[in-house]
Amino acid sequence: MMSSKIQSEAELVKLLASGLKRNFNTDIAVQEFAGGYGIADLVFAKNFLTNQNIIDRKPLNNYYALKSYLSLPQNKAFTLNDIVKASGGGKNIGSNVANILTFDDYISKHGKFYYKTDVPLVNPIKKLVAIEVKLRDWKQGILQARRYKSYTDECYLAILSRYEKNVDKHYLTQFGIGLILFNEENGEIWIKHKPLKKSLVSIYDEVIGLFAKELFLYESSTVQNLRSISFQV
């Protein structure tokens, strides 16, 4: 039984970060995760354990580098100008992308030309779950949780169970958001409403989704797993 009432969202985030690992079959939670539009309070890699991170490459935790790498040709030479075009940015971004991909052995340079190496871009994380945590403001929580749908596979609003009666479940269904309740009397956590699956996924969603998984993979390979991460350029 918990000894006192929860006073802040930060306190609730900490409890959920620990308590929800079993629900999502994982051993890691990342707080303040910015893998795209909006910063999620919590993100879990569903059905993923850190000892499953057996890749022998550095994750591409730079969006422009990932975007460029996916666009560049396989088994064919390309130039710095091609990298700039693939990045969608200017010369400075393109040059930075070329340096990142070369340093991390995703591409190699021979004279004026670049080639992709044999590094496989396979990510063991299959699903990311984002959670927006509020004590009682469910409307703002749903609004914020909607932002994370572009780069995660499931989105939830988490609130204190005593405020569940205020939540209009129609909005959860309408926007495909799940609901997680926390009982501060006994510390119990349960998933009351599951989110709807995405019906249509755009190319942008696929790229930003992979980028978020790369970011999460990079974060889960560090010593400190609960620090803030965001877009890196």
Tell me the mean pLDDT per 10 residues along the chain, length 233: 76 95 93 88 93 83 95 95 95 97 96 94 92 96 93 95 94 94 93 80 82 89 42 36
Q: Which two tokens stand for residue 168?
A: 């209009």
Say what the pLDDT of residue 222 is. Answer: 56
Domain range summary for the chain, segments of one domain joined by +: 9-50+126-220, 63-116
Give me the pLDDT at residue 145, please: 94
SS (H, E, C) 179-191: EEEECCCCCCEEE
pLDDT for the residue numbered 199: 63
Per-residue H/E/C for the chain = CCCCCCCCHHHHHHHHHHHCCCCCCECCEEEEEEEECEEEEEEEEECECHHHCCCCCCCCCCHHHHHHHHHCCCCCCECHHHHHHHHCCCHHHHHHHHHHHHHCCCEEEECCEEEECCCCCCCCCCEEEEEEECCCCHHHHHHHHHHHHHCCCEEEEEEEHHHHHHCCHHHHHHHCCEEEEECCCCCCEEEEECCCCCCCCCHHHHHHHHHHHHHHHHHHCCCCCCCCECCCC
pLDDT the model gives residue 153: 93
Residue 18 CB burial class (10 angstroms; 0-12, 13-18, ≥19):
exposed
Question: Which option is the CATH number for 9-50+126-220: 1.10.1200, 3.30.420, 3.40.1350, 3.30.70?
Answer: 3.40.1350
Matching CATH number, 63-116, of 1.10.10.10, 3.30.499.10, 3.40.50.1010, 3.40.50.620? 1.10.10.10
Q: How far, in Å, CA of 31 to CA of 71, rounded?
A: 31
Question: Taking the C-alpha atoms of 108, 109, 113 and 117 in order, what is their torsion angle to the nearest 10 degrees?
Answer: -10
Cα 186 to the chain's mean position, in Å? 30
Predicted model pTM: 0.85
Model pLDDT, residue 231:
35
